[in-house]
């Protein structure tokens, strides 16, 4: 089945029971045929493809030829400089919108920076904490959903109670966020992916950012975890920007509220990039003092390597254009498969993101788990159904995160054929079982 074949079809819901059963058995047969091909494709994680990684290979060879000294005279091979070398800070400062005293450069994982920040908050508290969070009777967290599964997993690991906040096209439901944080002092934080959100691709509107800055949380040590993971990861020619959360918070006197995270995982190498945390100068000083017990300094040679390879923020933007050239056709293929194979049948809905790493698919209620399982049977691995929700539970069982970046176009084409067939099968079953 392809776009042209489906154009003259009726919507699935308009089929008679007979027609539906016949359509269903065709689709089942089709899935069986795919299964016989013994595919082994992975669309489960937001992982760059090899072609994207090749873009940064030069970084690994000549960036450190015989010169390991940073601009201000630090031998990057040796101990020290907990907050990172200045030229690495300079790469991130315009990216996340902070000044030179408002940033710490981390290791190869911003997830680690986020986890560690919460671990320290639990054991020691953040700046302004009346006591360590682990000494509070309970700690709660706002989780806009669909969202990033690894964010939610951190909360789950630490026994932090997650409260789901619906995710809109311009950010979380701010009425709910405002009400909850102002009423409940157990709520210590919120997860945000403000640009090209994981998985919906939503971009926070100016109004949403301003409402975040204007929050008046009951907890004196409430923190906005602003994971700007996709801040330069555009898929269109438009370089979308959002309001600067730290600057907005300075205007409201809440500059200690946001903690901004980013990394080069999807700019250079997921396995060997660098990360950053941005925050008010006071927050940074406080965190540095806490972090000094954990580590003498993150890998400065890798910081220097990145600084020399990218040179400046423009260098990063140029690199992102190259990533876009590789990724855009993959996203186009996914959208066109969904539009061609599901839209005419009236099955499901999906995001068409301007950036980021995912397409978020919402099928008919109760079909997500079935689709993921059918795809797995046919050799196509998807993110678990429900993964984008706190505790892994999608109340509608309808959301699936499609990650099109890692497979080749050819593989992606095969995988999307399987996906759309599975979606049709599941949609039929949902109708037949009504």
Residue 247 DSSP symbol: H
Identity of the residue, 120 or 370, whose beta carbon is nearer to a second copy in the bound complex: 120
CA distance 412 to 425: 20
Binding window for a second copy (CB under 8 A); candidates: 34-42, 238-246, 287-295, 412-420: 287-295
Give the span between the Cα atoms of 349 and 346, in whole angstroms: 8
Number of residues forming the site for a second copy (CB under 8 A): 55
By CB under 8 A, tell whether 79 contacts a second copy. yes
Between 84 and 123, how does the x/- string for binding to a second copy read (CB under 8 A)? Answer: -----------------------xxx-xx--xx--xx-xx
What's the rounded Cα separation, in Å, for the pair 137 and 338? 47
238 sits near a second copy (criterion: CB under 8 A):
no
Collapse the DSSP code of 11 into the 3-class scheme (helix H, G, I; strand E, B; otherwise coil) and give the result. Answer: coil
Q: Considering only residues 146-175, where is the footprint of a second copy by CB under 8 A?
A: 150, 153-154, 156-158
Cα separation, 211 vs 87, in Å, equals 33
Q: Write each residue from 253 to 272 as x if it is in contact with a second copy (CB under 8 A), else as -, in one continuous string.
A: ------------x---xxxx
Q: Which of 39, 53, 176, 317 binds a second copy (CB under 8 A)?
A: 53
Residue among 399, 400, 354, 361 at smallest CA distance from 203? 354
Distances from the Cα of 114 to the Cαs of 103, 242, 295, in angstroms? 14, 21, 16
Nearest CB to a second copy, comparing residues 40 and 434: 40
- 73 lines the binding site for a second copy (CB under 8 A): no
Residue 180, classed as helix, strand or coil, is: helix
Measured CA to CA, the distance from residue 369 to residue 353 in angstroms comes to 23
Q: Which is nearer to a second copy, 75 or 314 (CB)?
A: 75
Rg of the chain's alpha carbons, rounded to an integer? 23
Q: Is 393 in the site for a second copy (CB under 8 A)?
A: no
Cβ closest to a second copy, residue 77 vs residue 216:
77
Closest C-alpha to 100, from 83, 117, 75: 83
Given candidates 62, 179, 251, 288, which one binds a second copy under the rule CB under 8 A?
Answer: 62
Q: Which is nearer to a second copy, 343 or 381 (CB)?
A: 381
Task: State the first-to-last Cα distance of the chain, in angstroms, to the nearest integer.
Answer: 25
User: What is d(CA 144, CA 389) in angstroms, rounded to the nearest whole number?
Assistant: 8
- Identify which range of 57-65, 322-330, 343-351, 362-370 contacts a second copy by CB under 8 A: 57-65
Binding residues for a second copy, per CB under 8 A?
Answer: 45, 47-48, 50, 53, 56-57, 60-62, 64-66, 68, 75-80, 107-109, 111-112, 115-116, 119-120, 122-124, 134, 150, 153-154, 156-158, 265, 269-272, 290, 293-302
């Amino acid at each position: 089945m392809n776009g042209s074949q489906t154009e003259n079809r009726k919507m699935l819901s308009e089929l008679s029971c007979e027609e539906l059963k016949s359509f269903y058995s065709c689709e089942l047969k089709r899935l069986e045929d795919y299964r016989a091909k013994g595919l082994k494709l992975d669309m489960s994680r937001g992982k760059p493809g090899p072609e994207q990684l090749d873009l940064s290979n030069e970084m690994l060879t000549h960036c450190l030829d015989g010169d390991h000294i940073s601009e201000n005279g630090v031998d990057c091979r040796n101990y020290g400089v907990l907050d990172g070398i200045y030229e690495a800070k300079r790469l991130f400062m315009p990216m996340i919108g902070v000044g030179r005293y408002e940033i710490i450069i981390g290791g190869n994982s911003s997830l680690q920076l986020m986890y560690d920040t919460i671990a320290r908050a639990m054991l020691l508290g953040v700046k302004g904490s009346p006591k360590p969070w682990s000494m509070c009777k309970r700690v709660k967290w706002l989780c806009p959903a669909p969202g990033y599964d690894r964010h939610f997993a951190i909360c789950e690991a630490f026994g932090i109670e997650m409260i789901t906040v619906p995710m809109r096209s311009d950010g979380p439901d701010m009425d709910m966020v405002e009400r909850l944080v102002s009423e409940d002092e157990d709520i210590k934080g919120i997860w945000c992916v403000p640009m090209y959100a994981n998985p919906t691709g939503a971009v926070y509107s100016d109004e949403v950012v301003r409402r975040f800055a204007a929050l008046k949380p009951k907890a004196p040590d409430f923190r906005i975890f602003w994971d700007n993971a996709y801040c330069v990861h555009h898929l269109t020619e438009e370089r979308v920007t959002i309001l600067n959360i730290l600057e907005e918070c300075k205007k409201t006197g809440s500059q200690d509220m946001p903690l901004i995270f980013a990394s080069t995982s999807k700019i250079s190498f997921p396995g060997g990039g660098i990360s950053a945390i941005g925050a008010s100068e006071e927050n940074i000083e406080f965190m540095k003092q806490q972090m000094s017990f954990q580590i003498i300094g993150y890998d400065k040679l890798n910081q220097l390597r990145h600084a020399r390879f990218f040179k400046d923020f423009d260098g990063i933007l140029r690199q992102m254009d190259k990533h876009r050239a590789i990724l855009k056709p993959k996203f186009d293929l996914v959208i066109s498969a969904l539009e061609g194979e599901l839209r005419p049948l009236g099955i499901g809905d999906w995001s068409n993101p301007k950036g980021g790493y995912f397409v978020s698919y919402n099928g008919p209620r109760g079909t997500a788990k079935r689709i993921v399982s059918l795809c797995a049977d046919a050799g196509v691995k998807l993110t678990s159904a429900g993964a984008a929700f706190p505790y892994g539970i999608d109340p509608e069982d309808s959301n699936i995160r499609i990650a099109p970046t890692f497979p080749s176009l050819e593989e992606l084409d095969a995988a999307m054929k399987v996906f759309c067939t599975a979606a049709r099968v599941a949609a039929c079953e949902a109708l037949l079982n009504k």
